[in-house]
Structure 1
Amino acid sequence: MAMSVLIVDDHTPFRTFAHSLLEAEGIEVAGEAADGEAALEAADTLHPDVVLLDINLPTVDGFEVARRLAGSGGPKVVLTSSRPASDYGAMLDEAPVVGFLPKQELSGPALLRLVS
């Protein structure tokens, strides 16, 4: 499945790592954003198929970004964090996303499983 991904994370090293990893595994990276507001702008401009979205972001957190993207009929959203899913509890269960992928488990196949 060919798809484009917008990577959203406030840590440049993670964005760089994710970008390189996903492209090496045949996934097109449409762009990157460092905070919630930039993520919303980039999603509106780039029209990615998927947004890989860090939960803990400056300006607007990942849960709010996911809600706004869902309300616009936007891309599929996969939340990510260095913290385990259990730290987010019901907030994660209620988020309008296709799944959660811990940062340490990021791979092209893992992302594809969540969005397919």
Structure 2
Amino acid sequence: MTRVLIVDDQDLVRQGLRMILELAGIEVVGEARDGDSAVRAASRYRPDVVLMDLRMPGMDGVEATRRIVAAGDARVIALTTFDVDQNVVDALRAGAAGFLLKDVTSEGLVDAVRRAEAGEPVVAPAVLARMMDHFATRPPEQPRLPAGLDELSDREREVLAMIGAGRSNAEIASELFISMATVKTHVRHIFAKLDLRDRAQAVVAARDARLG
């Protein structure tokens, strides 16, 4: 059974998330109302997935995400009220598996938790597209080149730019006139060289590298 830790400074939000998950047969092993208690709870309960609010008093969700991911305690899904938020970008850099809006449907929440546990991305393509639009209008003040960028081949940089633009593997294969197998190989190499977990982090890496 999937084990989840819920982190949010609002009691009603935690209670609502717990109810949805438990009705779907997902075990909620604990709750926390701030980042510091979240880090302790993750270490104690060893959940598979953490639902992490980003804006909390004291230690925020971004720093808590960084510590939980570094400890290898769980996959973290960031929770936010805004579909594009600098805190979300920072959380993805810190190692979050993706993010959800707080108005996500019950079905969407349950599906996201299960996909996160399975190691899959939990950000919808439409949201990735909005992230890229946001990045285009608000470029970073100081470039943060991803570690390992110099190791990418010209083709891998091209594929990374297309991932950053929200393209699927099928769309990349069509536009570059290569096979799906070749695209998957390029994606696997990109993730390995840049130490990326999923496509959500790849979008941030593409933005940081000023690709696309």
Q: Scaled by the length of structure 2, what TM-score is found?
A: 0.51
SS of the aligned residue for 1:105 comes to: coil
Deviations 1:15-74 (A, max 9, x none): 000000110011100010001111111111111111100000111111100111111121
Q: Which sections of structure 2, spanning at least 5 residues, go unmatched?
A: 119-212
Letter in 2 for 1:115: E
State whether residues 98 and 115 of structure 1, in contact with CA within 8 Å, keep that contact through their aligned partners in structure 2: no
1:1-116 maps to which residues of 2 (within 5 A)? 2-84=1-83, 86-88=84-86, 90-106=89-105, 107-116=109-118
CA distance in 2, matches of 1:67, 1:54: 13
SS of the aligned residue for 1:51 comes to: strand
Runs in 1 of length 4+ with deviation above 6 angstroms? none
State whether residues 35 and 57 of structure 1, in contact with CA within 8 Å, keep that contact through their aligned partners in structure 2: yes
- Which structure's residues are more often helix, by fraction? 2
CA distance in 2, matches of 1:92, 1:38: 18
Q: Which has the higher contact order (CA 8 A, sep 6+)?
A: 1
Q: CA deviation at 1:92?
A: 4.1
Aligned to 2:208: none
State whether residues 80 and 100 of structure 2, in contact with CA within 8 Å, keep that contact through their aligned partners in structure 1: yes
Q: Percent identity?
A: 38
State whether residues 2 and 114 of structure 2, in contact with CA within 8 Å, keep that contact through their aligned partners in structure 1: no
Deviations 1:73-94 (A, max 9, x none): 211111011222x122642442
Count of aligned pairs between the two proteins: 114
Are residues 94 and 80 of structure 1, via their aligned partners in 2, closer, same or farther at CA, if it must alter by over 3 Å? same
Q: CA deviation at 1:110?
A: 2.8
After superposing the two structures, state which structure 1 stretch, 4-13 or 69-78, moved more. Answer: 69-78
Q: Determine which structure has more spread, i.e. the larger CA radius of gyration.
A: 2
- Which structure's residues are more often strand, by fraction? 1
